[in-house]
Amino acid sequence: MTKRTAPYFFCLPFVIAFAVFVIYPMIDMFVRSFYKLEGISTYRFVGLKNYENFLSDPHINNAIFTTFGFTAGIVVVNLVVPLLLAVLLNHKLTPFRNIFRGAFYIPALTSVVVAGIYFRLFLAGNPDTPLNWLVRLFGGEAREWLFDTKLTGIIALVLTSTWRWLGLNILYFLSALQTIPRELYEAAQVDGANAVQRFFKITLPGIKPILIFVTTLLTYGGLRMFGESYVLWNGSTPGDIGLTIVLYIYRTAFTHFDMGYASAISVVFFLFLMILNVIYIRAMGFLKGGSGR
């Protein structure tokens, strides 16, 4: 082995693993999208029939509504709330701030199954559940929050995911806040800038890279939502409440055993994510012509 070939040799395991576990499944998914599974392992070529079914499938519209509604909610909530808490925990006058930092992070260590079961019980329709008890305390009526409307289903998903990942996002923002020199805040305070002005003129520009990073994670995490939705509704989602695109792909493939149609949905979803990725990169200014250039 020469010095020139050594790097390729050490990269070979990754290349092989990437080809076997990423490239090959993607090609197989695209090919299967033109077939229909009949029996156990027999496929029949149906051409574009699966894609035609996609355009007329009412469940797709509900899955898209839930997925994008959840993504919008999780992005807004998990940008605003963790950032404000991080600013508070970064202030030297905040009491017990180290204890709160650890307390906020603990849910991130919790399994999605445990979190989902807890919130399934928390949001149950029993009048004695914690949430309904609070609602009745303020004069409201007990509701079956998980099975009420599609909107309450989205709120349940946002609440569950926020509880799990709030501490991690706080940690991201805290690490960014601590890179901003204190001298900038002191100089701005001397010049008469109040707390709000310092936040918008110093804090936000100073943590812009982390804001972009967290926004990216939240966006793609929201679009591929599966675990919380599956556990909260135990995979059933009556009336398509809580039905996300990834959960619908899973159900189509492994409950209805329609591998061809599930592959077609996956192909369309993959192409959408690629288009979204290009738009996002251009918006961030990483490609020529981006608005951030």
Same domain for 236 and 106: yes
Check whether residue 198 and residue 274 sit in a common domain. Answer: no
Q: Place 85 in a pLDDT band, splitting at 50, 70 and 90.
A: very high
Inform me whether the pLDDT recorded for 287 exceeds 70.
Answer: no
Cα(73)–Cα(76) distance, rounded to whole angstroms? 5
Residue 182 lies in a domain: yes
Q: What is the pLDDT of residue 293?
A: 39
Assess whether 42 and 167 both reside in one domain. Answer: no
End-to-end CA distance of the chain: 44
Span 130-139, pLDDT tens digits: 888 888 888 8
Same domain, 32 and 143: no
- In this structure, the answer to whether residues 207 and 96 fall within a common structural domain is yes
Considering the domain architecture, whether residues 104 and 147 belong to the same structural domain is answered as: yes
Q: What is the C-alpha separation between 22 and 27, in angstroms, rounded?
A: 9
Residue 206 counted as domain residue: yes
Rg (CA), the chain: 24
Q: With bands split at pLDDT 50, 70 and 90, how would you rate the model's confidence at 291?
A: very low
Q: 144 near 161, Cβ under 8 Å? A: no
Tell me: do 222 and 208 sit in the same domain: yes
Q: Are 207 and 83 in a shared domain?
A: yes
d(CA 157, CA 222): 10
Residue 245 located in a structural domain: yes
What is the per-residue pLDDT for 250? 92
Q: Are residues 118 and 169 in the same domain?
A: yes
Is the model's pLDDT at 31 over the cut of 80? Answer: yes
Rounded average pLDDT over 265-276: 92
Question: What is the token pair recorded at 215?
Answer: 């926004």
Is the same domain home to 262 and 229? Answer: no
CATH code at position 77: 1.10.3720.10
Residue 290's pLDDT is 44
For 149-200, how does the pLDDT look when each residue is reduced to its tens digit (9 = 90+)? Answer: 888 889 999 999 999 899 999 999 999 998 888 888 888 888 888 888 888 8
pLDDT at 143 over 90: no
CA–CA dist 248, 264 (Å, integer): 12
CB 115 within 8 A of CB 163: yes
Q: What's the domain range around 83?
A: 62-256
The total number of structural domains that make up the chain? 2
160 and 110 together in one domain: yes
Q: Is residue 4 situated within a structural domain?
A: no
Half-sphere exposure of 160 (CA within 13 A, CB side): 33
Would 240 be classed as within a structural domain?
A: yes
Share of the chain above pLDDT 90, in %: 38
Which residue from 158, 173, 233 is spatially nearest to 206, judged by alpha carbons?
173
pLDDT beyond 90 at 264: yes
